[in-house]
Structure formats: structure tokens, C-alpha cells
Amino acid sequence: MEQIRRKRRKAFVEEKACVACGCCAKVCPVSAISVWKGITAKVDQSKCVGCGKCAAECPASVISIREVEA
Ligand code: SF4
Ligand code: SF4
């Protein structure tokens, strides 16, 4: 049977530019973001629903929402 391909929206952090403030993690409704070792935010792609709240909140504008193959 042919597989149906769907696109999903996911958040991506530009890790080198992240200042690890944690603002994104606080607003994520599904707790998909953690701040790793106080260095950078990391997104658990299996949890992210692509709502964009983190990107809207990031003071450094280093989160982008991209469409990826599901
Ligand atoms: S896009 Fe939404 S679900 Fe995904 S990490 Fe950001 S706040 Fe969480
Ligand atoms: S809000 Fe932006 S700068 Fe702050 S931890 Fe999240 S990705 Fe990094």
C-alpha cells in the first residue's frame, strides 16, 4: 500500500545563537523544549506540534518553524 506523506510543522532552534534564557520552554504547551546544560534550547521533535508559541516568545529570534515530512 502506498504511504501517504504529510507535512508537519516543527520548531528548530539555531543552537549557536540561543542564549538559553528558557522563555521558549516556559510557553511550550506540550513541554517539548528543554534547556540543555544551560547552553542551548533543544526541541523534542516527537513532541512538538508546531504551534509557534516558542518562536513568538524568543527574544533572540533564533527559533524557526519549518515544514517537514511527517
Ligand atoms: S512550536 Fe509549539 S509545540 Fe513546538 S516547541 Fe514551539 S511551543 Fe512547543
Ligand atoms: S527563547 Fe530563544 S534564546 Fe531563549 S532559550 Fe529559547 S531559543 Fe534560546
**Is 2 a member of any domain?**
no
Count the Cβ atoms, other than its own, within 10 Å of residue 2.
4
Domain that includes residue 56, residue range: 7-69
Q: Does the beta carbon of 28 sit less than 6 angstroms from any atom of ligand 1?
A: yes
d(CA 26, CA 50): 15
Which residues lie below 8 Å from residue 48, measured CB to CB, with a gap of 6+?
A: 10, 11, 28, 30, 32
Ligand 1 atom showing the smallest separation from residue 9 Cα: 1
Domains: count for the chain: 1
**56: CATH:** 3.30.70.20
Ligand 2 atom showing the smallest separation from residue 57 Cα: 1
Percentage, residues of the chain above pLDDT 90? 89
Q: For position 46, what pLDDT does the model report? A: 96
Q: Does the beta carbon of 62 sit less than 6 angstroms from any atom of ligand 1?
A: no
Q: What is the pTM (predicted TM-score) of this model?
A: 0.91
**Is 24 a member of any domain?**
yes
Q: Does the beta carbon of 56 sit less than 6 angstroms from any atom of ligand 1?
A: no
**Is 64 a member of any domain?**
yes
Confidence of residue 56 (pLDDT cuts 50, 70, 90): very high
**Is 32 a member of any domain?**
yes
Count the Cβ atoms, other than its own, within 10 Å of residue 29.
9
**Is 51 a member of any domain?**
yes
